[in-house]
């Protein structure tokens, strides 16, 4: 039986066309189960109907046979999401008679749902003339088959190899990562040839091959020169140095000699490049200095570039005359930076989830984004599409009326945004006058917009990782001082909370490989910096030096899990303070001790507030990681994105507990996770009693607008009501209705 099962799944999966695959499925299932009829019904969730897609045994003729979700035995299988096995099907209350399809002659019925990630994709049915109960082994055969088919179907659906839905467009579903609607052409970034896929090949004309290689090398050199020039004013010297290294390597006689030697021995240029690059990369890989070891990946990147120019005569640049929607396997900060903001309408990524740092960055830049979307480049590249960042949907080649509908939505969104922004510069008060401080989360985008943010009460979270992530080595103390000083000076009269380095997890440093099975539970945040006091001291000293003569610096420590980490970090801060104080004295200036706070994001600190409080000045709640660690769910894993839910009653209970502790201990508290920038999140937090929220630039206007329209006592009552809800979805729904009641529903058109 197992072999039969494997064969059916294999044959279905290897069919190139869905109709053919489904016909194969019903035919082979009939044979394997020795029954006379097998049919497969596919669910259309928009129409709430099952369509009979293929059958062996029923008379389908040319007409379309569809059943409502609440009709017939097939509907019952779908609703109950479990198999139904009947010896006398026609006597069952849910049996529905379709005239003319010849079902009357079948008495026994066994139907099982095809379920993928809790969603019924269809129903698989076998039927037989004689009245008999299918036995247990037959039932488990069909259930196992359906489970395996579900994966095949889901994959086909994601790849677009699936019958069109009612709207005629291919629909790709992912997680809503950054709100907004984008309507533009898709652009898939799969342009990089892969060095690891080049295999041995020989050439006939050595001279010609050498010319090809020379041409590719010159083209690569001028491309690197062009890039260097282009980024000259935007990137710092360290980052630009990578282009110099590439140019230097391309001019290196050793490298050239090695490639030419391969060609002379009869190798094709591509194969010559691969062999040479592999051996150079290996040489770097073996070096003991981590910085030099990292050059190994630069050499490989260089090889990719040469391959590109062997295949392409010209320097193909990403030059768009119209905005595009970028599709990538993995979205990186560099990709977002490479395309001018006005030409990047939206982004779709296969890897990652809504709280991956790339998604946070997209939100900060106001670029609609959908993450966790499986796509097939040939089905989307250059196709017109709609990206719905509210619902996490991508519609490829939408019908005109659907497009018109989305254009209307986008225009409404713009109008709303303008209205919202008109309240931007005023202080935030609830409708009954309770003052709420709104701070900014900055740093991820490494942009300069931080200086133009009016209407905020300071910076609640400055993520210092960006310069560390963008460069090819640790930024120097001097570079850090300049960077931090410009931020402190952008907010001379307001607090600026700078967080010490929080790398690790999903923010690996390009020049310091950390290989771990569970990076989020591993060497990240304060754990890393305490093990590297040199890096920590340089950073804290840079922050303190930047704050000489200023009064607005606060230092925030990430990933604190207990008192000893805090004390260790504080003693390093004290040491840096002494050193920098001396410096300040020498120039007759003063250095003020910054306020020190911790991120509340590792659940263990929830039980240590009393012990921690005497050592700190404030708390900052990181709901992104707190949710991840409380619910034991990876914030970046698209597969469990639906489990990652900040509206989970336990998360809300913990947020209330933190507030109560902060009030008891008279410790100021703010919330700086993404939850604070979500309209429903913000209203729940203010309803609980939080008065300081910190969020991305893009959320500021929206949150101010929401809070100004609702009185604080109504928010409090709403939160009290939510305490009786045990399910996250119910809390979200009731909160959406609450916003709707204040005519603010337009601000949250979120799918989830
Ligand atoms: C958080 O964890 O909520 C947070 C604000 O920090 P980050 O997203 O940078 O981990
Ligand atoms: Mg965090």
Between the CA of 358 and the centroid of ligand 2 the distance, in Å, is 14
Residue in the block written with tokens 């919330």: 671
End position of a domain, from candidates 311, 343, 378: 311
Residues 483 and 390 placed together within one structural domain of the fold: no
Q: Whose CA is nearest to atom 4 of ligand 1?
A: 622
The answer to the question of residue 613 being in a domain is no
Residue range 670-725, pLDDT digits in tens: 999 999 999 999 999 999 999 999 998 778 888 998 999 999 999 999 999 999 99
Give 598 Cα–ligand 2 centroid separation in angstroms: 11
Flag whether 547 is in a domain.
yes
Residues 740 and 635 in one domain: yes
Choose one of 247, 278, 311: the last residue of a domain.
Answer: 311
Residues 61 and 99 occupy one common structural domain:
yes
Is 470 part of any domain? yes
CATH of the domain at 281: 1.10.274.10
**pLDDT higher at 104 or 535:** 535
Is 38 one of the catalytic residues? no
Average pLDDT, the chain: 86
Catalytic residue among 38, 648, 672, 718: 672
- Ligand 1 atom closest to Cα of residue 463: 9
Q: Is residue 277 part of a domain?
A: yes
Could you say which ligand is closest to the alpha carbon of residue 620?
A: 1
The binding-site residues of ligand 1, defined as CB within 6 angstroms of any ligand atom, are 461, 463, 502, 601, 622-625, 672-673
Lowest mean pLDDT among 260-269, 276-285, 647-656: 276-285
The active-site residue, picked from 357, 439, 648, 692, is 357
Give yes or no: residues 576 and 638 share one domain: no
Q: 284-298, 365-379, 573-587, 616-630: which has the minimum mean pLDDT?
A: 284-298
597 CA to middle of ligand 1, Å? 14
Per-residue confidence (pLDDT) for residue 446, from 0 to 100: 45
Q: Reply yes or no on whether the pLDDT at 235 is more than 50.
A: no
Instruction: Tell me the ligand closest to 361's alpha carbon.
Output: 1
Last residue of a domain, one of 311, 343, 362: 311
312, pLDDT greater than 70: yes
Q: Is residue 442's pLDDT more than 70?
A: yes
- Residue 439 appears among annotated catalytic residues: no
Q: Which segments of 180-299 are extended strands (E)?
A: 181-188
Burial of residue 137 (number of CB atoms within 10 Å: 0-12, 13-18, 19+): exposed
Confidence category of residue 150, pLDDT binned at 50, 70, 90: confident
Domain annotation covers residue 99: yes
**Residue 706 backbone dihedrals phi, psi, to 5 degrees:** -60, -50
| Cα 69 to averaged position of ligand 1 atoms, centre (Å) | 42
Does any domain span residue 98?
yes
CA of 522 to the centre of ligand 2 (A): 13
pLDDT bucket at 660, cuts 50 / 70 / 90: very high
pLDDT reading at 479 higher than 80: yes
State the closest ligand 1 atom to the C-alpha of 624, by its place in the atom list counted from 1.
3
Q: Band the pLDDT of 412: cuts 50, 70, 90.
A: confident
Residue 290 has pLDDT above 70, yes or no: no
Distance CA(7)–CA(112), nearest Å, equals 19
492 and 431 in one domain? Answer: no
Are residues 177 and 324 both part of a single domain? yes
- Name the DSSP letter for residue 350: S
Report which bound ligand comes closest to the CA of 356: 1
Considering the domain boundaries, does residue 175 fall inside one? yes
Instruction: Pick the ligand that lies closest to the CA of residue 360.
Output: 1
Identify whether residues 219 and 304 lie together within a single domain. Answer: yes
The domain that holds 8 is classified in CATH as 3.30.450.40
Same domain as 499, residue 627: no
Instruction: Specify whether the CB–CB gap between 58 and 103 falls below 8 A.
Output: yes
What whole-number percentage of the chain has pLDDT above 90?
48
Distance CA 196, CA 278 (A): 9
Reported as a single tens digit per residue, the pLDDT across 432-441 is 999 999 998 8
Mutation probe of ligand 1 site: the residue of 501, 622, 630, 677 with most atoms within 8 A of C-beta: 622
Structure tokens at 451: 């200086």
Assigned domain for 563 exists: yes
625, 644, 670: which to mutate for ligand 1, most atoms within 8 A of CB?
A: 625
The reply to whether 481 and 408 lie within a common domain is: no
pLDDT band at 558 (very low <50, low <70, confident <90, very high): very high
Residue 445: per-residue pLDDT? 47
309: exposed, middle or buried (C-beta count within 10 Å: 0-12, 13-18, 19+)? buried
What is the C-alpha separation between 104 and 8, in angstroms, rounded? 28
For the CA of 441, the closest atom of ligand 1 is 5
Find the CATH number of the domain harbouring 712. Answer: 3.20.20.60
Q: What does the block give as tokens for 678?
A: 């979500």
Residue range 407-421: mean pLDDT, rounded: 75
Q: What is the mean pLDDT of residues 488-507?
A: 90
What is the pLDDT averaged over residues 292-300? 68
**Residue owning the nearest CA to atom 10 of ligand 1:** 625
Tell me the CA–centroid distance for residue 235 and ligand 1, in Å: 26
Pairing of strands 324-328, 344-349: parallel
Region 451-455: mean pLDDT is: 61
As a whole number of angstroms, the distance between CA 478 and CA 545 comes to 9
Please check the confidence at residue 733 and state whether its pLDDT lies above 80: yes
Probe residue for ligand 1, chosen from 507, 672, 685, 695 as the CB with the greatest number of ligand atoms within 8 Å: 672
Same domain, 35 and 147: yes
CA of 108 to the centre of ligand 1 (A): 57
Rounded mean pLDDT of 85-99?
A: 87
469-473 long-range contacts, CB within 8 A, separation 24+: 469/333, 469/503, 469/507, 469/509, 469/510, 470/235, 470/239, 470/333, 470/334, 470/446, 471/236, 471/238, 471/239, 471/511, 472/238, 472/239, 472/241, 472/242, 472/294, 472/510, 472/511, 473/238, 473/291, 473/511
Q: Three-state SS string across 320-344, please?
A: CCCCEEEEECCCCHHHHHHCCHHHE
Total domains in the fold of the chain: 5
* pLDDT over threshold 90, residue 10: no
Pocket perturbation via mutation, ligand 1, pick of 503, 558, 628 by most ligand atoms within 8 A of CB: 558
Q: Same structural domain for residues 385 and 433?
A: no
Residue with the bigger pLDDT between 743 and 749: it is 743
Which tokens in the block code for residue 159? 């790849």
Q: pLDDT per residue over 162-219, tens digit each?
A: 655 444 567 788 888 888 899 999 999 866 577 878 989 988 899 999 999 999 999 8
Q: What average pLDDT does range 444-473 have in this prediction?
A: 71
Q: Which of 391, 484, 402 is nearest to 173 (CA)?
A: 391
Host domain of residue 245: 195-311
Q: Could you tell me if 686 and 709 lie in one domain? A: yes
Among the atoms of ligand 1, which is closest to the Cα of residue 558? 6
């Amino acid at each position: 039986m197992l072999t039969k099962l494997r064969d059916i799944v294999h044959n279905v999966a290897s069919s190139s066309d869905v109709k053919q695959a489904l016909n194969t499925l019903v035919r082979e299932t009939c044979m394997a189960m020795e029954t006379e009829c097998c049919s497969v019904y596919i669910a259309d969730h928009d129409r709430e109907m099952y369509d009979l897609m293929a059958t062996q045994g029923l008379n389908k003729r040319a007409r379309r046979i569809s059943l409502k979700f609440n009709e017939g035995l097939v509907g019952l299988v779908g609703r109950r999401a479990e198999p139904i096995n009947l010896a006398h099907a026609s006597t069952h209350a849910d049996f529905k008679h379709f005239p003319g399809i010849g079902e009357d002659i079948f008495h026994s019925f066994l139907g099982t749902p095809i379920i993928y990630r809790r969603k019924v994709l269809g129903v698989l049915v076998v039927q037989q003339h004689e009245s008999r109960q299918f036995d247990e082994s037959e039932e488990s055969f069909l259930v196992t088959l359906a489970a395996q088919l579900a994966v095949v179907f889901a994959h086909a659906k994601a790849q677009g190899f699936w019958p069109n839905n009612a709207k005629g467009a291919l629909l790709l579903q992912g997680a809503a990562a950054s709100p907004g609607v984008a309507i533009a052409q898709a652009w898939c970034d799969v342009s990089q040839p892969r060095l690891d896929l080049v295999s041995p090949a020989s050439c006939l004309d050595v001279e010609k091959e050498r010319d090809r290689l020379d041409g590719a090398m010159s083209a690569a050199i001028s491309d690197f020169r062009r890039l260097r020039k282009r980024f000259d004013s935007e990137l710092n010297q360290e980052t630009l140095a990578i282009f110099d290294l590439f140019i230097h390597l391309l001019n290196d006689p050793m490298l050239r000699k090695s490639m030419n030697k391969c060609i002379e021995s009869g190798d094709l240029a591509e194969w010559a490049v691969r062999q040479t690059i592999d051996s150079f990369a290996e040489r770097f890989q073996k070096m003991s200095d981590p910085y030099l070891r990292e050059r190994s990946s630069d050499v490989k990147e260089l090889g990719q570039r040469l391959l590109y120019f062997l295949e392409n005569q010209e320097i193909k640049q990403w030059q768009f005359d119209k905005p595009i929607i970028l599709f990538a396997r993995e979205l990186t900060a560099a990709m977002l930076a490479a395309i001018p903001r006005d030409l990047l309408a939206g982004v779709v990524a296969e890897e990652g989830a809504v709280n991956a740092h790339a998604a946070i960055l997209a939100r900060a830049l106001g670029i609609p984004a959908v993450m966790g979307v499986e796509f097939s480049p040939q089905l989307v590249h250059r196709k017109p599409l709609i990206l719905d960042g509210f619902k996490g949907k991508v519609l490829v080649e939408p019908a005109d009326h659907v497009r018109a509908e989305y254009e209307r939505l986008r225009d409404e969104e713009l109008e709303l945004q303008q209205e919202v922004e008109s309240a931007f510069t005023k202080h935030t008060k609830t409708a009954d006058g309770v003052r709420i401080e709104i701070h900014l989360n900055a740093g991820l985008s490494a942009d300069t917009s931080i200086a133009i943010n009016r209407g905020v009460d300071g910076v609640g979270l400055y993520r210092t990782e960006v310069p560390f992530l963008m460069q090819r080595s640790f930024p120097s103390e001097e570079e850090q001082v300049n960077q931090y000083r410009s931020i402190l000076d952008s907010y001379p009269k307001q607090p600026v909370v700078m967080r010490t380095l929080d790398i690790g997890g999903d923010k690996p440093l390009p020049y310091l490989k950390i290989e771990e099975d569970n990076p989020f539970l591993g060497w990240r945040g304060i754990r890393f910096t305490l093990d590297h006091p040199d890096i920590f001291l340089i950073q804290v000293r840079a922050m303190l030096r930047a704050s000489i003569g200023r009064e607005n610096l606060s230092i925030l420590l990430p990933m604190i899990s207990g008192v000893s980490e805090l004390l260790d970090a504080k003693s390093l801060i004290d040491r840096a303070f002494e050193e920098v104080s001396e410096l300040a004295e020498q120039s007759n200036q003063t250095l003020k001790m910054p306020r020190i706070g911790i991120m509340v994001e590792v659940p263990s600190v929830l039980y240590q507030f009393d012990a921690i409080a005497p050592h700190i000045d404030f708390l900052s709640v990181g709901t992104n990681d707190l949710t991840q660690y409380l619910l034991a769910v990876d914030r970046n894993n698209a597969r469990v994105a639906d489990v990652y839910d900040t509206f989970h009653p336990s998360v809300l209970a913990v947020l209330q507990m933190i507030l109560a502790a902060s009030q008891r201990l008279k410790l100021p508290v703010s919330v700086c996770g993404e939850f604070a920038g979500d309209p429903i999140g913000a209203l729940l937090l203010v309803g609980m009693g939080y008065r300081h929220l910190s969020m991305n630039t893009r959320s500021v206007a929206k949150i101010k607008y929401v809070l100004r329209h609702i009185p604080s006592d109504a928010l409090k009552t709403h939160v009290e009501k939510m305490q009786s809800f045990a399910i996250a979805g119910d809390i979200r729904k009731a909160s959406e209705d609450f916003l709707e009641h204040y005519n603010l529903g337009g601000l949250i058109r979120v799918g989830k």
